[in-house]
Amino acid sequence: MMQGKASIRFQNPPHILGAGSVVGEKEGQGPLGPLFDEVEADPMCGQDNWEAAESYLQTRAAQLALQNAGCTSGDIRYLFAGDLLGQLIATSFGLKNLEIPLFGLYGACSTMGEALSLAAMAVDGGYAEKTMALASSHFASAEKQFRFPLAYGNQRPYSATWTVTGCGAVVLGRGCGKVRIAGITTGKIVDLGVKDSMNMGAAMAPAAADLVMQNLIDFDVTPEYYDKVITGDLGTIGQRALLDLLKEEGVNLEGDHMDCGIEIFDPETQDTHAGGSGCGCSAVTLCTKILRELTQGHWRRVLFIPTGALLSQTSFNEGQTIPGIAHGVILERV
């Protein structure tokens, strides 16, 4: 059911039937460590290169999500998946053996929100019994793609975030899960002219603020409607920017906002500066802390907003701005 300008309230809200998460060692040592299904001690995951390592994370997360949902790849009608690498090669090589009809997605670090939105539409619309949404990132493949060779050992400013090594996957379907997707709000590209690729939180915050406002308007609710509003990977600087931008709109989210990039690493013992980032960041936090809090009934309803910074090495080198995008998903305890 269309709701406002950019939102949908599902008639038959798809349930999350199972989730799977795999992360690297650093993430495993962080505050969410005990919650992940698997922690890979080897950053190469036994593969020949970083890209293949990320593909391996995808393969494993998909297998674990299927296992936890009690089904097989043959039960999944559509797969909605993506990663940060050029031409989605982590996805192409990580998921090909599943042999599931695939819609490849790119929304930068908002990809898990985009994937959940479309996967939920496919189930609610009656186009599928079960779908899978998946997103991954890998610190080393992302550094290689977007920044410098690891061996160069470049200095990172305090506004920089650390790309999460990890993949999260969820199986959606009709039926009998404990958490359902009640609705979605789909983001548009928002560009306030930020150009600093080492401060992606600031680049993405305007898109996140735009999404929050659109969601509140479309569903005609106040922030209290949600127990938490959870962004993907704004980090500490992006969080401050988001809260300030919303305050200008008369919306106070202080205390009710959580950011996956802030949750995933311990600022005291894990030096990541502004926090974690990457599509994997929000995907694995969803599959662990967010689903657990909902399942255990600590939260009744949250607005989950993976946030993406739309840049490439080429656009950065050409002096372009960094537009942002964000996709909102309303998760409810059944």
Residues that bind a second copy (CB under 8 A): 1-2, 6, 8, 48-49, 51-52, 77-78, 82, 84-89, 92-93, 95-96, 98-108, 114, 117-118, 121-122, 124-129, 145, 186-189, 191, 310-315, 318, 320, 323, 325
SS3 state at 2: strand
Cα(306)–Cα(138) distance, integer angstroms: 17
SS3 state at 302: strand
* Closer residue to a second copy (CB): 199 or 288: 199
| Closest distance to a second copy from the beta carbon of 55 (Å) | 10
* Closer residue to a second copy (CB): 177 or 328: 328
* Closer residue to a second copy (CB): 75 or 266: 75
* Closer residue to a second copy (CB): 265 or 304: 304
Encoded tokens for 285: 């936090």
Cα(144)–Cα(162) distance, integer angstroms: 13
- Give 256: exposed, middle or buried? Use CB within 10 Å, 0-12, 13-18, 19+: middle
| Closest distance to a second copy from the beta carbon of 215 (Å) | 12
| Closest distance to a second copy from the beta carbon of 35 (Å) | 29
SS3 state at 151: helix
| Closest distance to a second copy from the beta carbon of 269 (Å) | 32
* Closer residue to a second copy (CB): 55 or 231: 55
Cα(88)–Cα(239) distance, integer angstroms: 28
The number of angstroms, rounded, from the C-alpha of 171 to the middle of its chain's C-alpha atoms is: 15
| Closest distance to a second copy from the beta carbon of 318 (Å) | 5
